[in-house]
Structure 1
Amino acid sequence: MLGAMRAWVVEGTGPPGEVLRLIDKPVPDLREGTFLMEVGAVGVGLPDVFMCKGTYPLAPKEGSFTSGQEVCGTVVQAGDGVGLEPGQRVMTVTSFQTGDGGFAEQCLGLGHSWFTVPDSMDDATAAGFLIPYHTAWIGLVRRGGLKAAETLLVLGAAGGTGAAACSLGAALGARVIGVAGGPERCDTATSFGAHQTVDHREGDIAAAVRELTDGRGVDVVYDPVGGDAYTAATRCVARDARIVLIGFASGEWAPVNVRHVVQRNYSVVGAIPARYSREERLDDHRELSALWDAGSINSVVTASYRFEELPEAMRALESREVIGRVVLDLSSG
């Protein structure tokens, strides 16, 4: 036992403001394949909201738990074979599935999912980099096969996940069309790299995209939204297009119509970093770090909250008041 720490725990199921509690709890013991780290900053995402509500499939199944999927911080202690030494600064996916996530002063990182932090990247930026950008790389490069000069449609382009796809797609030489709700969010999508935007509040997404592409449609769709947005995207794809499914920010997974897929000659694929080897992930991170160092991709973090403000950060995220990626910065408390 390594002492006590402050941590946010989820007790029960319901809106974040009703089930989150800030308590003192024991520092977690190392589990096989993990390391203990001092948290500098932690990303806040919709999956954390869904965990509070009991609707996220990867959440701990029983009892109270601490969520928070990705962090940046300093290694305190590492298990055998993890390859880390105390004092190293890394970004990592946490052991949130065991309830030892990043909404705490110390957490457990996964020994197969840690990566070095570029010298020019601060903790808050790094805490919002790993999941959005690694997912974007796997979705666009490995699964979507995006090529320079192709047209990429990004749904949810003003959210953290979509923003990373806009930035990376532009860096890879694609023409990027971002879908967002309202002028402010469309402007934000443009700032992240979208060359053109579609305001889904102003009319039919598919009609607007077909007009922007002279009726041809898009080559790749990046979909972290699901639901009706996915269905609209299927009506504006080119022949041989690839639709990459990332998540369900709408609350509904993509309702894939297999008959339509066959009749229109497009592909639907899923993308998740967890299914790739350590060596493949390291290769991806080197590519992304080089793009960061060259100034070709941007930070998607747009809002930072103090550690004590987690319920407010989740409320703002759930109500779509914030744009881009949200983090808790423990150095600001």
Structure 2
Amino acid sequence: MQVWQVHENGEPGEAMRLTDAEPPTPADGQVLLKVLAANVNFPDALLCRGQYQVRPPLPFTPGVEICGETEDGRRVLATPALPHGGFAEYALADAAALLPAPGTLDNAEAAALHIGYQTGWFGLHRRARLQAGETLLVHAAAGGVGSAAVQLGKAAGATVIGVVGGAEKAAVARGLGCDLVVDRRAEDVVAAVKEATGGRGADVIYDPVGGTAYAQSAKLVAFEGRIVVLGFASGTIPSPALNHALVKNYAILGLHWGLYNTKNPDLVRHCHEQLTELAAKGAIAPLVSERVPLEGAAAAVQRVADGVTTGRVVVLPTEANGA
């Protein structure tokens, strides 16, 4: 089979190498999956760089989110068991964690439904307890994680403000349904959001960026608001002033979605049922901006790492290019 491997950590475009190898052999409790579509996530870039919280042994294959086919023909969603990730024709996954792919979505859309939307659902509903009528601010609203949060926020009845970088991404965020879009490259984010909310700010802030975005979040969070910290795509991990959270009366909530797979897997399955229902109703629809062949996986991961993509970039093995 064809498979991308990382033999030395580095930038994805340089570290990932396409090679031929035998399909991996499942261990106890694992299954071999034919990869129908593999979604590119920012953690794939961190894995290549050796900066992710999980560091698989070298060589490894990145690709943490796939739509695959079991040997008995079932179409499923999975987070592959590293080091045998999804940027290959076949991957391994834990049998107990497989989820049925929604019938209303094609392979690329289904691959993009899993991690980003699960993270959005847990962040907004489990951690922040977002309520209808509240204001939700989403940083990087045109990206893979942000676009999912925008759609889930609208489905929950929230007013959604999207913060983006650039006119192209602003157009994408408007198309996703944001009630207000703020281009951080052309506008003062804090001033624009304060003006739009009458000085109150946002009840829930969804932040996968960190750095300057978090500093803006602390200025914009409303009384009894909640900042959900998801990651640090900016490369800068902020050091929040806890006295500020105290005097302004807001909560800082961390979210590591992967923990739910071991701490509460039943809730992950419940979330998937909720997402499948929303997808069937058309309330959410993964934004797949690019579909690339397996040969283009390294370049696709590099583009996501560089922050120049919108929505989701999905890798399709050669035989599945029509998916």
Q: TM-score range by the shorter chain?
A: over 0.9
Q: 1:17 aligns with which of 13, 18, 28?
A: 13
SS in structure 2 opposite 1:202? coil
The residue number in structure 2 matching 1:306 is: 293
How far the C-alpha of 1:135 sits from its partner, in A, is 0.5
How far the C-alpha of 1:193 sits from its partner, in A, is 2.4
Percentage identity across aligned positions? Answer: 40
Rounded to whole Å, the distance in 2 between the matches of 1:239 and 1:248 is 24
Rounded to whole Å, the distance in 1 between the matches of 2:35 and 2:84 is 12
Rounded to whole Å, the distance in 1 between the matches of 2:36 and 2:111 is 8
The residue number in structure 2 matching 1:87 is: 73
Q: How does 1:263-278 map to 2 (within 5 A)?
A: 263-276=247-260, 277-278=264-265
Match for 2:296: what amino acid?
E
Q: 2:99 aligns with which of 115, 119, 123?
A: 115
How far the C-alpha of 1:203 sits from its partner, in A, is 3.2
Rounded to whole Å, the distance in 1 between the matches of 2:98 and 2:288 is 19
The residue number in structure 1 matching 2:64 is: 69
Q: Is the 8 A contact 1:139 1:272 kept in 2?
A: no
How far the C-alpha of 1:129 sits from its partner, in A, is 1.0
The residue number in structure 1 matching 2:315 is: 328
Task: Tell whether 2:269 aligns with 1:282.
Answer: yes
How far the C-alpha of 1:230 sits from its partner, in A, is 0.7
Query: Where does structure 1 lack aligned partners over 5 or more consecutive residues?
Result: 77-85
Q: Could you list the per-position Cα deviations for residues 127-161 of structure 1 after superposition, in whole angstroms to 9, with x for gaps in the alignment?
A: 11100100000000000100000000000101000
How far the C-alpha of 1:272 sits from its partner, in A, is 2.5
SS in structure 2 opposite 1:235? helix
How far the C-alpha of 1:249 sits from its partner, in A, is 0.9
Rounded to whole Å, the distance in 1 between the matches of 2:296 and 2:94 is 26
Q: Is the 8 A contact 1:164 1:192 kept in 2?
A: no
The residue number in structure 1 matching 2:208 is: 224
Q: 1:157 aligns with which of 118, 123, 141?
A: 141
Task: Tell whether 2:311 aligns with 1:316.
Answer: no
Q: 2:126 aligns with which of 123, 127, 142?
A: 142
Rounded to whole Å, the distance in 2 between the matches of 1:40 and 1:180 is 31
The residue number in structure 1 matching 2:192 is: 208
Q: Is the 8 A contact 1:136 1:161 kept in 2?
A: yes
SS in structure 2 opposite 1:149? coil
Task: Tell whether 2:170 aligns with 1:174.
Answer: no
Match for 2:5: what amino acid?
V
Match for 1:206: what amino acid?
V
How far the C-alpha of 1:54 sits from its partner, in A, is 1.5
Q: Is the 8 A contact 1:73 1:89 kept in 2?
A: yes
SS in structure 1 opposite 2:151? helix
Match for 2:73: what amino acid?
G
The residue number in structure 1 matching 2:39 is: 43
* Normalised TM-score (structure 2): 0.95
Q: 1:104 aligns with which of 85, 88, 93?
A: 88
Q: Which moved more, 1:197-206 or 1:139-148?
A: 197-206
Rounded to whole Å, the distance in 2 between the matches of 1:193 and 1:213 is 18
Match for 1:242: what amino acid?
R
Rounded to whole Å, the distance in 2 between the matches of 1:222 and 1:239 is 16
The residue number in structure 1 matching 2:168 is: 184
Rounded to whole Å, the distance in 2 between the matches of 1:322 and 1:67 is 19
Match for 1:329: what amino acid?
L
Q: Is the 8 A contact 1:91 1:117 kept in 2?
A: yes
How far the C-alpha of 1:315 sits from its partner, in A, is 2.6
Q: Is the 8 A contact 1:227 1:255 kept in 2?
A: no
Q: Which moved more, 1:31-40 or 1:65-74?
A: 31-40
The residue number in structure 2 matching 1:237 is: 221
* Normalised TM-score (structure 1): 0.92
